[in-house]
């Protein structure tokens, strides 16, 4: 827990550092000069994102213009849905919006739904399963826990791609290809999450758990009513990692998904990629990317504090 | 990434029915262990077995001994993929770590310009990675409709076919990786900087240490655990690069782009396994990847221990 006190005190400390009288204005000016390249570097962040957003807003005719416009001249949402486009007749200057491009029920919404469903299920499931196991490994003296824990730590050195092919074969043999089960079940036992939770629990005193045991509470109840609430900061940190990883998961869905219906957002975006050749299709492609990015960006902006704290916690402890 | 931790030595034994409690303990461990065994341990052993076979996904696997590994050793494409990956990994980790540290030093304050900068640089970490790949692909469009070529024209140059120029492939992959990852490293370094006691700096200042000396002898050594973490996770992540190659450089019938200039380990694994259905051969590639990352992790442990003994 090296981070929690730091989080509270660091700003005050840094403020003190900043307000200290310096040898002269020269040192401070030098500091700002040193910062200048990094302010310029931030342009490389702003410009591509700005380019993405204006691309989404430009209609197809404006997109194929050379040189490109930097302020959309007739901003519209036709890249999401173009009412003028129809499958029967050709209407020059009108292309399918991203919601019109997939022949599946609910169109692009379906992929958003798939991504949300899979991400939520894995996050909740993994946190429950891993916290249960972490409680046993950290607080129960059972035979073999050292061996189990060492095995789990060792498995963190295995790149998951090593198990890609056998897992694909397992999914095929079980008939799970192209199902939510194939998305969710293999992603539940996360060694990294278990390791982190065990470490966190070791810094939690045993007294609370002992007291509950003396009061006659069963182990399941202790886990649910005492351990889970104690783990809350660690669970918050881990949920951020899991959500980001699963939201962006691409290679595994690419292997297990066959139909259009079961694609998650990354796989759907990769399929949009086949329209890449022409500039006028970029609006719809970027609109798809925009939809895939907004949920996690909003999630981040709301829980910003927890993001930085969670990353710091994992980095300093892991 | 720390080594094994001593576990729960302080536990006192409680007088409860031992058998019943142990039964509960194992029942609570069971969901994790069952999934862990089914989707990690067993597949791991299975992929080792498959790497000694000529499994094609349809016919039963035929044991072929070390044939796959012998074939890999002589496979020019695989060697090319290894070389590309090594170049990409070293360049992106070195550049990414330096920029992360620089950003953290520049913007670790509580003021709002610093906070905005931190948010801005962190933004790619929370944006859909495939969306970012598509965005880069559009920025690097091979005509003046693309942003990069528009800028080249402003500067008086002529249109560059960015994604079809083999000599630019690795630099572009490194650029995309560094651009997308430096904000994440920055957050780790900012946390590391915040945990350095201010007293050290005050003491150094009283002793007349210059800004550079304070950085060199206080900041850098105390940030070493963070640096190790950033470098090792960066190395491991970079070895597994796939999406950038698959989305940005893949050609119609060649995963590695023009002249295989973007061919890396995992894309090659995917190509052999799921395009050519040489699942045995792809398993051998998977084990080479495993060995590389395993050695890196061991080196990390060894370096960490040596650092502690210093």
pLDDT tens digits for B115-158? 999 999 999 999 999 999 999 999 999 988 899 999 999 999 89
Residue partners of B128: CB distance under 8 A and separation at least 6: A247, A248, A265, A266, A269, A289, A292, A293, A296
The mean pLDDT of B7-21, rounded to a whole number, is: 49
- Residues B236, B242, B243, B245: what is their CA dihedral angle, to the nearest 10 degrees? 120
Q: Which CATH number fits domain B67-309: 3.40.50.11750, 3.30.420.10, 1.10.3720.10, 3.40.190.10?
A: 1.10.3720.10
Which position has the higher pLDDT, A30 or B5?
A30
Q: Which of A18, A293, A312 sits opposite B127 (nearest CB)?
A: A293
**Does residue A55 sit in helix, strand or coil?**
helix
The stretches in chain A having pLDDT less than 70 are 1-25, 27, 315-318
Instruction: Give the pLDDT of residue A309.
Output: 83
- CA B146 to chain A, closest CA, distance in angstroms equals 8
- CA A296 to chain B, closest CA, distance in angstroms equals 6
Q: List the structure tokens of A240.
A: 């951020």
CB contact under 8 A, A51 and B293: no
Whole-angstrom CA distances from B140 to A267, A270, B249 are 22, 17, 11
Instruction: Give the pLDDT of residue B92.
Output: 97
Q: Report CA A152 to chain centroid distance, whole Å.
A: 23
Long-range contacts (CB closer than 8 Å, 24 or more residues apart) made by B147-155: B147/A47, B147/A48, B147/A51, B147/A68, B150/A67, B150/A68, B153/A67
Which residues in chain A are closer than 8 Å to B130, comparing Cβ atoms? 248, 250, 265-266, 269-270, 289, 292
The mean pLDDT of B79-93, rounded to a whole number, is: 96
pLDDT above 70 for B7: no
The runs of H, that is alpha helices, within chain B are 18-36, 42-50, 67-74, 76-106, 112-122, 129-139, 147-154, 166-194, 198-206, 211-214, 220-222, 224-239, 243, 265-270, 279-309
Which residues in chain B are closer than 8 Å to A269, comparing Cβ atoms? 128, 130-131, 134
Sign of the dihedral defined by the CA atoms of residues B253, B255, B256, B262, in that order: positive
In a domain, A59, yes or no: no
The interaxial angle of helices B166-194 and B112-122, nearest 10 deg, is 140
B interface test, pick of A54, A62, A146, A159 with most B CB neighbours within 10 Å? A159
Phi, psi of B63 (to 5 degrees): -65, 125
Q: Is-above-0.80 flag for pTM?
A: yes
In a domain, A76, yes or no: no
Give the CB-side neighbour count of residue A282, counting CA atoms within 13 A: 29
Prediction ipTM score: 0.87
What single string gives the DSSP state of each residue in B53-109?
A: B---SSSPP-B-TTHHHHHHHH-HHHHHHHHHHHHHHHHHHHHHHHHHHHHHHHS-S
Q: How many CB atoms lie within 10 A of CB B95?
A: 16
Of B135, B30, B233, the closest CA to residue A188 belongs to: B30
Q: What CATH number is associated with residue A173? A: 1.10.3720.10
Cα–Cα distance measured from residue A187 to residue A160, given in angstroms and rounded to the nearest whole number = 10
Domain ranges of chain B: 13-50, 67-309
Of A291, A246, A245, the closest CA to residue A268 belongs to: A291
Instruction: Give the pLDDT of residue A298.
Output: 93
Instruction: Give the pLDDT of residue B304.
Output: 63
Residue partners of A216: CB distance under 8 A and separation at least 6: none
A interface test, pick of B9, B23, B32 with most A CB neighbours within 10 Å? B32
CB contact under 8 A, A293 and B294: no
In a domain, A190, yes or no: yes
Which residues in chain B are closer than 8 Å to A307, comparing Cβ atoms? 122, 126, 187
Closest Cα in chain B to A40: B117
Of A204, A176, A197, the closest CA to residue A126 belongs to: A197
Whole-angstrom CA distances from B70 to B52, B61, B80, B285 are 11, 18, 16, 12
CB contact under 8 A, A297 and B123: yes
In a domain, A80, yes or no: no
Instruction: Give the pLDDT of residue A93.
Output: 81
For A175, the domain range is 109-266+294-317
B interface test, pick of A50, A151, A165 with most B CB neighbours within 10 Å? A165
Whole-angstrom CA distances from A254 to A248, A268, B115, B126 are 12, 10, 37, 21
A29-38, B162-171, B276-285 — which is least confidently predicted?
A29-38
Instruction: Give the pLDDT of residue B9.
Output: 45
In a domain, A19, yes or no: no
CB contact under 8 A, A132 and B132: no
Which residues in chain B are closer than 8 Å to A48, comparing Cβ atoms? 135-136, 139, 147
Whole-angstrom CA distances from B79 to A14, A279, B181, B268, B277 are 50, 36, 27, 11, 20
Q: List the structure tokens of B69.
A: 């590994």
The runs of H, that is alpha helices, within chain A are 3-19, 25-41, 43-57, 60-63, 109-139, 145-155, 164-174, 180-184, 191-202, 207-214, 219-222, 228-230, 232-247, 251-256, 265-272, 282-302, 304-317
Q: How many CB atoms lie within 10 A of CB B219?
A: 18
**Does residue B6 sit in helix, strand or coil?**
coil
Q: How many CB atoms lie within 10 A of CB B169?
A: 25
CB contact under 8 A, A213 and B143: no
The mean pLDDT of B223-235, rounded to a whole number, is: 90
Of A245, A243, A275, the closest CA to residue B134 belongs to: A275
Instruction: Give the pLDDT of residue B306.
Output: 63
pLDDT-derived band at B20 (thresholds 50, 70, 90) equals low
Which residues in chain A are closer than 8 Å to B4, comparing Cβ atoms? 149-150, 153
A90-99, A144-153, B2-11, B218-227 — which is least confidently predicted?
B2-11
Instruction: Give the pLDDT of residue A89.
Output: 78
Instruction: Give the pLDDT of residue B24.
Output: 87
Q: Which residues pair with B53 in a beta bridge?
A: B63
Average pLDDT, chain B: 88
- CA A20 to chain B, closest CA, distance in angstroms equals 11
B156 CB-contact burial (10 Å; exposed 0-12 / middle 13-18 / buried 19+)? exposed
**Are B245 and B172 a contacting pair, CB within 8 Å?**
no
Whole-angstrom CA distances from A27 to A20, A92, A207, A245, A287 are 12, 62, 53, 43, 47
| Overall number of domains in chain A | 1
């Amino acid at each position: 827990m090296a981070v929690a006190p730091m989080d509270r005190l660091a700003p005050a400390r840094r403020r003190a550092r900043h307000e200290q009288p310096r040898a002269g204005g020269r040192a401070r000016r030098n500091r700002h000069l040193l910062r200048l390249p990094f302010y310029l570097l931030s342009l490389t962040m702003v410009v591509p994102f700005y380019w993405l957003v204006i691309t989404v807003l430009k209609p197809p005719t404006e997109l194929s213009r050379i040189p490109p416009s930097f302020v959309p001249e007739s901003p519209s949402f036709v890249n999401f849905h173009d009412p003028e486009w129809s499958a029967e007749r050709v209407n020059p200057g009108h292309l399918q919006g991203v919601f019109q491009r997939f022949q599946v029920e609910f169109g692009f919404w379906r992929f958003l739904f798939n991504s949300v469903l899979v991400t939520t299920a894995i996050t909740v499931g993994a946190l429950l399963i891993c916290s249960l196991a972490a409680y046993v490994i950290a607080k129960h003296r059972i035979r073999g826990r050292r061996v189990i824990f060492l095995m789990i730590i060792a498995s963190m050195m295995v790149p998951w791609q090593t198990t890609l092919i056998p897992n694909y074969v397992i999914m095929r043999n079980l008939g799970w290809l192209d199902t939510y089960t194939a998305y969710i079940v293999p992603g539940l036992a996360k060694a990294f999450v278990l390791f982190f939770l065990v470490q966190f629990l070791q810094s939690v005193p045993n007294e609370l758990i002992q007291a509950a045991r003396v009061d006659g509470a069963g182990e399941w109840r202790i886990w649910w009513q005492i351990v889970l609430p104690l783990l809350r900061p660690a669970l918050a940190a881990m949920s951020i990692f899991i959500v980001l990883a699963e939201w962006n998961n691409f290679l595994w869905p690419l292997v297990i998904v066959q139909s259009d219906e079961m694609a998650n957002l990354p796989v759907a975006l990769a399929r949009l990629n086949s329209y890449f050749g022409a500039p006028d299709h970029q609006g719809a492609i970027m609109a798809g990317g925009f939809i895939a990015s907004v949920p996690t960006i909003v999630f981040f902006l709301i829980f910003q504090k927890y993001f930085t704290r969670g990353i710091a916690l994992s980095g300093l402890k892991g | 990434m720390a080594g094994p931790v001593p576990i729960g030595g302080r536990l006192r034994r409680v007088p409860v029915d031992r058998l019943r409690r142990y039964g509960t303990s194992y029942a609570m461990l069971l969901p994790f262990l069952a999934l862990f065994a089914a989707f990690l341990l067993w597949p791991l052993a299975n992929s080792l077995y498959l790497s000694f076979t000529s499994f094609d996904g349809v016919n039963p696997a035929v044991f072929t001994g070390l044939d796959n590994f012998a074939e890999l050793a002589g496979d020019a494409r695989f060697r090319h993929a290894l070389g590309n990956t090594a170049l990409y990994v070293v360049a992106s980790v070195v550049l990414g770590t330096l920029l992360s540290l620089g950003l953290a030093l520049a913007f670790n304050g509580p003021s709002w310009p610093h906070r905005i900068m931190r948010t801005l640089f962190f933004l790619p970490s929370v944006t859909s990675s495939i969306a970012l790949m598509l965005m880069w692909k559009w920025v690097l469009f091979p005509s003046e409709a693309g942003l990069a070529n528009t800028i080249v024209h402003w500067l008086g140059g002529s249109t560059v076919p960015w994604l079809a120029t083999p000599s630019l492939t690795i630099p572009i992959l490194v650029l995309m990786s560094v651009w997308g990852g430096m904000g994440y490293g920055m957050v780790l370094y900012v946390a590391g900087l915040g945990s350095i006691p201010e007293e050290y700096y005050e003491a150094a200042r009283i002793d007349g240490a210059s800004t550079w000396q304070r950085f060199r002898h206080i900041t850098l050594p105390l940030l070493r655990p963070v640096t190790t973490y950033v470098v090792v996770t960066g190395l491991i992540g970079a070895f597994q690069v796939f999406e950038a190659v698959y989305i940005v450089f893949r050609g119609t019938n060649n995963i590695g782009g023009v002249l295989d200039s973007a061919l890396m380990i995992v894309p090659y694994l995917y190509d052999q396994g799921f395009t050519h259905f040489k699942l045995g051969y792809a398993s051998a590639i998977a084990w080479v990847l495993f060995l590389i990352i395993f050695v890196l992790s061991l080196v990390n442990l060894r370096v960490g221990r040596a650092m502690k003994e210093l």
